[in-house]
Amino acid sequence: MSQELDFQFKHENCKRAVLLFHGMTGSPFEMKKIGKALFDADFDVYCYCLPGHGTSPISIKAVRWQDWYLESSAHYRELSKNYDEVFLGGLCMGAVLALCIAMEYKDVKGILGLSTTLYLDGWTIPWYNFLMPIGLHTILRYYYSFPEREPYGLKNEALRRKIAALQKKNTVALDNYPMSCIYELLKMSRFARHNMSKVLSPVLLIHSKEDDLTSPKSAEFVYKHVSSENKEYIQLENSYHLVVMDNERDFVFEKCISFLNTLSNSKNSKEREFAV
């Protein structure tokens, strides 16, 4: 099932590609709209289901963050053989993954960090969060799953109802966050925080002021600690965590496209036609 969720949008002879990463317990489904917008802006777009995702809730408990990293960096290497310019983009955990890849591969042309999750400190995190270290560092992490609850990362209520219904059927994402998965995300986030200065690629960070899962502290940390000369941080006023689906998604797409276009040296399709 996981491979069925992957998507690729390709043009003919296009020399620039964007590799997108979905969020924790999510699937490529949540990246489809931004993928389509980038495709319409003359980028080839790829998004693969991360290991442990898109199958059963059990399989996600058995993966480690290194599995996500190794498979994603393999996809990046594969794309960089076929394209002159490869950009990375990710939502939530996917943004951390994109940053981790850029730490190792200095030729990453640019990074889109959407709702980057380095800390789980959003306003929907439950009051008993102070017990989390006990849960995370004992075998309890394999028992506990944090149930997905309202607002499902969305400020848009109509969309929230739609996503809630889909999530109950487990068709687009899991309806809970297994603590073992949170444990792996936090380990990857710690690795990313310690190595953030190794990121040299241009970065665009987009984060909601009212993000329900992770506060703007994460994006601010990235902005402050990356070594990139070209870095930009945009704070959204009318969205929650799922910025690629929520109220300001068109604004997010527009900003991402214009950021990538400023970095790209490749010709878009119209320029290619003109050259022919």
Partner 1 sequence: MIGFFKNIGSYPASLLLIIFSNILLIIGFGIGKLAMWKWENAVKFFAVFSVVMSFLISAYFIGILWFSIGGLISGNIIHSAIFTVFLFLPFIIGHFATYKKIQFYSDIQILTLIISLVVALSFV
In the bound state with partner 1, the residue whose beta carbon lies nearer, of 97 and 182, is 182
Based on its alpha-carbon atoms, the radius of gyration of the chain, rounded to whole angstroms, reads 18
Identify residues 52-111 at the interface with partner 1 (CB under 8 A): 57-58, 61-62
Give whole-number Cα distances, 12 to 9, 40, 42, 61, in Å: 10, 13, 10, 39
Task: State the nearest-atom distance from the C-beta of 136 to partner 1, in Å.
Answer: 8
Phi, psi angle pair for 159, to nearest 5°: -65, -35
Q: Under the criterion CB under 8 A, does residue 176 sit at the interface with partner 1?
A: yes
**Residue 146 interacting with partner 1 (CB under 8 A):** yes
**3-class DSSP state for residue 232?**
strand
Stretch that binds partner 1, among 13-21, 82-90, 175-183, 198-206 (CB under 8 A): 175-183
Using CB under 8 A as the binding rule, whether residue 135 contacts partner 1 is answered as yes
Neighbours of 41 (CB within 10 A): 19
Does position 25 interact with partner 1 (CB under 8 A)? The reply is no
One-letter amino acid at 17 equals: A
Q: Which is nearer to partner 1, 125 or 200 (CB)?
A: 125
Would you say 128 or 274 has its CB closer to partner 1?
Answer: 128
Interface with partner 1, residue 187, by CB under 8 A: no
Count interface residues toward partner 1 (CB under 8 A).
23
Joined together, the tokens standing for residue 266 give 């490749």
For residue 148, the minimal CB distance to partner 1 (Å) is: 9
**Helix, strand, coil % over all residues of the chain, rounded to 5:** 45, 15, 35
Q: How many CB atoms lie within 10 A of CB 272?
A: 16
Question: Where do contacts with partner 1 occur on this chain (CB under 8 A)?
Answer: 57-58, 61-62, 128, 131, 134-135, 137-147, 175-176, 179-180
